[in-house]
């Protein structure tokens, strides 16, 4: 059970000691994410091997995000009136099945770009429901007092996995073959399902009273969930701090995050690295992100005004991407990726925490649905496809640089036009 008013502490791991449910959740998720990052690294490398095309690498990433764009807000409406823990358990089981099939077709030599696209679409369809359900469930595990720390610690687990997953994946590809990245990822979902099976929520999640309560047919469910989704969009996009921050987050997701899509191309063609070097590049992003997440979970979580740190990171991130775009030195590239990972996660973790603190509880699921629509859906379906197309038209360096310039303009413009960062 959540206890009241924790004393101020700079220990980023204190929330794990205070909340058993969150400890189970975080441990299982982190172990599973190591496998997921192995799969992410391997899918990008496999797409490049099968096609030898930067555009196809971006296409594979974007197809997995299309369902998130199409269905996230409907999923958010469902989550706001459903048992979030049950939804997360079911979707994790689907991820297990998807990774198992990907292992099988790759191991037997039957994998192809069309098949890879289908499997990525299935993963995206499941993610459209799982991501907002998982993120909006955190407040049920720790309460509002520890919410910012828990969100940041989730980011630390994500980035710890980003360090270990790609690095391990590079070794596995070199020693055993790419299929085993998918096989080990399938096994990793056993860890998260075990943790979820042991979680006991004392208080049921608050549900939104909506038109869906009496729905009996598929058409009625679709109409009522659409109405709930539109209600959520109207709330999120009305003038105010939530909208201002969401607009900046959207630009950052579309023009910032997709640089990761081109890392296999930069690794091979610009820096002369193989799968191990590509894994090391992802790992450096993860190490920087891990440091940032621990800072947010620890000392920054008690800072009364986080907006200035958030905006400082939002300006530093595109600056670092611009420098990375044209480096030809492997050590310099690693250093820039570490710094970029730090700035990116400072920005993302603080944005997530601030948004969850200022949103009304009845819209939390739809907020997280919009957040995943932006960070997974638009970032990959629009951003990854666009950056892949730019790389095909120009080259990978120019594509990353152009996106960095757009993001820099948006961040500076936000500082000048909006006051949200002074108030939060």
Given pLDDT bands bounded at 50, 70 and 90, which one contains residue 368? confident
pTM of the model: 0.68
3-state secondary structure the chain: CCCCCCCCCCCCCHHHHHCHHHHHHHHHHHHHHHHHHHHHHHHHHHHHHHHCCHHHHHHHHHHCCHHHHHHHHHHHHHHCCCCHHHHHHHHHHHHHHHHHHHHHHHHCCCCCHHHHHHHHHHHHHHHHHHHHHHHHHHHHHHCCCCHHHHHHHHHHHHHHHHHHHHHHHHHHHHHCCCHHHHHHHHHHHHHHHHHHHHCCCCCCCCCCCCHHHHCCCHHHHHHHHHHHHHHHHHHHCCCCHHHHHHHHHHHHHHHCHHHHHHHHHHHHHHCCCCHHHHHHHHHHHHHHHHHHHHHHHCHHHHCCCCHHHHHHHHHHHHHHHHHHHCCCCHHHHHHHHHHHHHHHHHHHHHHHHHHHHHCCHHHHHHHHHHHHHHHHHHHHHHHHHHHHHHHHHCCHHHHHHHHHHHHHHHHHHHHHHCCHHHHC
Q: Is residue 384 included in any domain, yes or no?
A: yes
**Mean pLDDT lowest among 174-188, 215-229, 297-311, 337-351:** 215-229
Whole-angstrom distance, CA of residue 109 vs CA of residue 33 = 26
Q: Is residue 219 part of a domain?
A: no
At residue 206, the pLDDT reads 44
Percent of the chain with pLDDT over 90: 16
Q: How much is the average pLDDT of 314-333?
A: 92
CATH number of the domain within which 20 lies: 1.20.1250.20
Compute how many other C-beta atoms are within 10 angstroms of the C-beta atom of residue 244: 18
Sequence-distant (≥ 6) Cβ neighbours of residue 100 within 8 angstroms:
182, 183, 186
Would you state the pLDDT for residue 385?
73
| Burial tier of 93 (Cβ tally within 10 Å: 0-12, 13-18, 19+) | middle
Mean pLDDT of the residues in the chain: 80
Is the model's pLDDT at 215 over the cut of 60?
no
Nearest one of 277, 289, 404 to 334, comparing CA atoms: 277
The domain tally of the chain equals 1
- Please state the separation of Cα 417 from the chain's center in Å: 27
Q: Residue 411: inside a domain, yes or no?
A: yes
Range 396-414 average pLDDT: 89
Token digits for 422? Answer: 């002074």
Host domain of residue 109: 14-200+225-423
Q: Does 119 have pLDDT greater than 90?
A: yes
What local confidence, expressed as pLDDT, does residue 324 receive?
93
Question: What is the reported pLDDT for 300?
Answer: 73
pLDDT in tens, 78-95: 777 778 888 899 999 999
Distances, alpha carbon 268 to alpha carbons 247, 263, 315, 386, 397, in Å: 34, 9, 28, 20, 13
Instruction: Work out the pLDDT band at 6, boundaries 50, 70, 90.
Output: very low
**Within a domain: residue 205?**
no
- Whether 5 is in a domain gets the answer no
Residue 209 included in any domain: no
- Is the Cβ–Cβ distance between 38 and 180 less than 8 Å? no
- Residue 339 — pLDDT band, cuts 50, 70, 90? very high
Residue 92: predicted pLDDT: 92
Name residue, tokens 């289908």.
118
- Cα separation of 139 and 136, whole Å? 7
Determine the average pLDDT of the residues in 86-107: 93
* Contact (Cβ atoms closer than 8 angstroms) between residue 319 and residue 263: no
Average pLDDT over residues 355-374: 76
Q: Which residues of 409-424 are buried (b: 16+ CB within 10 A; e: fewer)?
A: ebbeebbeebebbeeb
| Rounded (10°) CA dihedral 256, 160, 345, 398 | -20
Rounded to whole angstroms, what are the CA distances from 89 to 68, 94, 137, 163, 375? 19, 9, 12, 25, 22
Token pair 């629509």 is found at 373
Highest mean pLDDT among 56-60, 235-239, 395-399: 395-399
Question: Is 8 inside a domain boundary?
Answer: no
Residue 382 maps to a domain: yes
CA atoms within 13 A on the CB side of 110: 7
pLDDT at 377: 66
pLDDT, tens digit, for every residue of 49-70?
A: 888 887 888 788 778 777 877 7
If one counts every other C-beta atom within 10 angstroms of the C-beta of residue 204, the result is 10
């Amino acid at each position: 059970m959540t206890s009241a008013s924790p004393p101020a502490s700079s220990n980023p791991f204190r929330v794990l000691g205070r909340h058993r449910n969150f400890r189970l959740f975080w441990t299982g998720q982190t172990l599973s994410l190591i496998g997921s990052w192995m799969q992410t690294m391997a899918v990008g490398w496999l797409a490049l091997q099968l096609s030898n095309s930067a555009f196809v690498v971006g296409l594979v990433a974007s197809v997995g995000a299309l369902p998130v764009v199409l269905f996230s807000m409907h999923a958010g409406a469902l989550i706001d009136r459903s048992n979030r823990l049950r939804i997360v358990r079911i979707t994790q089981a689907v991820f297990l099945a998807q990774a198992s099939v990907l292992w099988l077709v790759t191991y037997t030599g039957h994998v192809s770009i069309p098949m890879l696209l289908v499997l990525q679409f299935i993963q995206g369809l499941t993610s459209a429901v799982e991501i907002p359900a998982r993120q909006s469930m955190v407040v049920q595990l720790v309460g509002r007092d520890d919410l910012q720390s828990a969100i940041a610690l989730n980011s630390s687990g994500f980035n710890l996995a980003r360090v270990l997953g790609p690095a391990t994946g590079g070794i596995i590809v070199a020693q055993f073959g790419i299929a085993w990245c998918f096989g080990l990822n399938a096994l990793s979902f056993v860890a998260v399902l075990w943790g979820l099976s042991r979680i006991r929520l004392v208080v049921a999640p608050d549900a939104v009273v909506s038109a869906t309560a009496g729905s009996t047919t598929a058409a009625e469910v679709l109409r009522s969930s659409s109405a709930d989704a539109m209600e959520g969009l109207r709330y999120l996009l009305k003038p105010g701090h939530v909208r201002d921050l969401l607009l900046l987050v959207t630009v950052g997701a579309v023009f910032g995050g997709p640089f990761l899509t081109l890392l296999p191309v930069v690794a091979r063609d610009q820096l002369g690295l193989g799968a191990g070097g590509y894994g090391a590049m992802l790992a450096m992003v993860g190490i920087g992100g891990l440091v940032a997440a621990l800072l947010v979970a620890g000392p920054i979580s008690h800072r009364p005004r986080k907006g200035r740190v958030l905006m400082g990171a939002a300006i530093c991130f595109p600056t670092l991407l611009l420098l990375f775009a044209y480096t030809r030195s492997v050590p310099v590239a690693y250093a820039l990726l570490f710094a970029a990972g730090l700035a990116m996660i400072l920005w993302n973790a603080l944005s997530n925490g601030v948004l969850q603190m200022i949103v009304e509880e009845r819209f939390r699921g739809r907020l997280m649905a919009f957040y995943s629509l932006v960070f997974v859906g638009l970032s990959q379906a629009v951003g990854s496809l666009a950056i892949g197309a730019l790389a095909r038209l120009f080259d990978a360096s120019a594509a990353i640089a152009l996106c960095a310039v757009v993001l820099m303009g948006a961040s500076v413009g936000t500082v000048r036009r909006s006051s949200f960062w002074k108030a939060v």
